[in-house]
């Protein structure tokens, strides 16, 4: 893979003009690649490494929502939605994923039929994220989608006693497990922060803060700044749980520590920067995850044991993008030489092993030599993680990224 100019002579810095040009080029190349996600029939398709659709399998809720959110950010940043991704995605969410019979949003659809009717908090919070970003981008259908999914989250998923999100139900809202998870709540906090920015609703901000306090100030602080992923119905950690290897792997996931650190700083900034705990906690999460998970040959291990030892050394793209986002936030807030060193190291690894400089987008996993691996993932799974790694360093704030992108319009040609 061809290496590119990441920035200044010291490596790359978020404020460096050359690095900013690199981020903009990478974002535009990814958007050009993922424009092909809209198939001939109007449905979204997962794309292969060369940009061709990988068959006509079921369309999953997180695919639809992440495309809407990503292209909404790009629209705000000045890049026209030439493929009509936002309009098509909003239509798919309302007409196809929304369950007119039972309420809520089904996990996957195939044509006009429901492929998997499971109702997952993980999917519903991404609907809230997509609706919020679409509202910030001025989409005319955003308000109805946001109001609908917010009510479903309130009525079905919100555990008022715990101040956290329950995980899963059948299509007709029967509970079928006592599982509770950090992942859905983490993305719930992300979506709640976006909803607060889109609407000004203080309840969204308060709930996001409560979720982050439970998992960071509570769980991470008691577990060596590693966050247990899985819980029972009483919200007690379940260290023996192992589920889907992508969404619910055993152990702890350092990539989520980076996400939670960035979200904590995002919430803290929106809340008026109360106290000093949030910056200290965010740094603990980032420092611990980097120390535990960075591998000798570069890249971040996917999962760890509870003592921080590497459990699954697979090197996926998304933990690298989330580490970049967390380091960019720390560099904006309280820059230290080690932060700049890590930011540069992460981008150099991505540049050499993950970014597809020929076609755009990021490979999901590096393989032998310069070839991407094709084991766990088929094609390029999504634009969401990598696009945010490109765009968030371009704005000066820890929060209100959409507003910052709309003001600067860095992707405008």
Cα–Cα distance measured from residue 106 to residue 93, given in angstroms and rounded to the nearest whole number: 10
Flag the least confident range among 14-23, 116-125, 223-232, 375-384.
Answer: 375-384
Instruction: Give the integer Cα–Cα distance in Å for 279 and 184.
Output: 23
| Residue ranges of E strands in 177-266 | 180-181, 230-231
Is the sign of the CA dihedral 394, 397, 403, 404 positive or negative? negative
Task: Assess whether pLDDT exceeds 60 at residue 1.
Answer: no
What average pLDDT score do residues 186-210 get? 98
Residue 89 has pLDDT above 70, yes or no: yes
pLDDT tens figures, 232-253: 999 999 999 999 888 899 999 9
At 243-291, the pLDDT tens digits run 988 889 999 999 999 999 999 999 999 999 999 999 999 999 999 999 9
**Which among 62, 139, 353, 385 is annotated as catalytic?**
385
Residue 256 a catalytic site member: yes
Please tell me the distance from the alpha carbon of residue 373 to that of residue 313, in angstroms, as a whole number: 14
pLDDT band at residue 2 under the 50/70/90 scheme? very low
Which pLDDT value is given to residue 9? 38
Secondary element (H or E) of residue 340: helix 337-353
The per-residue pLDDT for range 43-78, each reduced to its tens digit, is 999 999 999 999 888 999 999 999 999 999 999 999
Confidence of residue 8 (pLDDT cuts 50, 70, 90): very low
The pLDDT assigned to 374 comes to 67
What is d(CA 282, CA 262) in angstroms, rounded to the nearest whole number? Answer: 7
pLDDT in tens, 207-221: 999 999 999 999 999
Between CA 158 and CA 164 the distance in angstroms is 6
Mean pLDDT to the nearest integer, 341-351: 97
Taking the mean position of all CA atoms in its chain, how far away is CA 209? 18
> Rounded to whole angstroms, how far apart are CA atoms 164 and 211?
6
Question: What is the number of alpha carbons within 13 Å of residue 20 lying toward its C-beta?
Answer: 12
Q: How far is CA 279 from the centre of its chain?
A: 21
- Using the structure block, give the residue that is written with the tokens 């092909």: 36
Told to judge if 353 belongs to the known catalytic residues of this protein, a careful annotator would answer no
Q: Which residue pairs from 388-391 have beta carbons closer than 8 angstroms and sit at least 24 positions apart in sequence?
A: 388/70, 388/73, 388/321, 388/325, 389/320, 389/321, 389/322, 389/324, 389/325, 389/350, 390/23, 390/24, 390/26, 390/27, 390/30, 391/23, 391/27, 391/73, 391/74, 391/77
What does the domain layout of the chain look like in residue ranges? 38-177
Band (pLDDT 50/70/90 cuts) for residue 321 is: very high
What pLDDT sits at residue 376? 78
d(CA 335, CA 15): 12
- Using CA atoms, how far apart are residues 198 and 192, in angstroms rounded to an integer? 10
Which residue out of 256, 266, 353, 401 is catalytically annotated?
Answer: 256
pLDDT recorded at residue 7: 55
Look up the CATH number of domain 38-177.
Answer: 1.50.10.10
Q: Which of 387, 403, 389, 386 is nearest to 196 (CA)?
A: 403
């Amino acid at each position: 893979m061809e290496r590119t100019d990441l920035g200044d002579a010291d490596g790359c810095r978020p404020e460096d003009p050359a690095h900013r040009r690199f981020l903009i080029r990478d974002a535009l190349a990814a958007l050009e690649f993922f424009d092909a996600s809209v198939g001939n029939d109007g449905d979204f398709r997962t794309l292969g490494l060369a940009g061709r659709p990988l068959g006509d399998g079921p369309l999953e809720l997180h695919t639809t929502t992440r495309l809407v959110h990503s292209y909404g950010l790009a629209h705000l940043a000045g890049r026209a939605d030439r493929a009509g991704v936002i309009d098509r995605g909003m239509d798919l969410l309302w007409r196809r994923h929304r369950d007119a019979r039972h309420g809520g949003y089904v996990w996957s659809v195939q044509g006009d039929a429901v492929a998997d009717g499971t109702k997952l908090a993980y999917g519903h919070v991404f609907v809230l994220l997509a609706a919020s970003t679409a509202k910030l981008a001025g989409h005319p259908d955003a308000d109805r989608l946001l109001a609908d999914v917010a009510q479903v989250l309130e009525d079905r998923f919100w555990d008022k006693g715990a101040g956290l999100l329950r995980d899963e139900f059948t299509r007709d809202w029967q509970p079928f497990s006592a599982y509770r998870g950090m992942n859905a709540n983490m993305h719930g906090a992300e979506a709640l922060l976006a909803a607060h920015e889109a609407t000004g609703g203080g309840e969204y901000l308060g709930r996001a803060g409560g979720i982050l306090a439970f998992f960071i100030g509570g769980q991470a602080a008691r577990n060596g700044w590693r966050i247990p992923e899985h819980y029972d119905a009483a919200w007690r950690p379940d260290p023996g749980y192992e589920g889907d290897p992508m969404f619910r792997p055993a152990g702890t996931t350092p990539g989520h520590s980076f996400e939670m650190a960035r979200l904590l700083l995002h919430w803290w900034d929106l809340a008026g920067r109360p106290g000093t705990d949030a910056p200290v906690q965010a740094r603990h999460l980032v420092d611990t995850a980097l120390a535990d998970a960075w591998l000798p040959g570069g890249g971040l291990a996917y999962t760890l044991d509870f003592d921080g030892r590497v459990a699954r050394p697979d090197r996926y793209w998304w933990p690298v993008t989330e580490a970049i986002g967390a380091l960019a936030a720390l560099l904006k807030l309280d820059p230290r030489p080690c932060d700049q060193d890590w930011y540069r190291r992460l981008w150099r690894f991505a540049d050499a092993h993950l970014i597809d400089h020929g076609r755009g987008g990021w490979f999901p996993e590096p393989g032998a030599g310069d070839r991407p691996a094709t084991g766990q993932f088929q094609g390029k799974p999504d634009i969401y993680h990598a696009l945010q790694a490109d765009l968030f360093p371009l704005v000066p704030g820890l929060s209100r990224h959409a507003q910052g992108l709309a003001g600067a319009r860095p992707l405008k040609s």
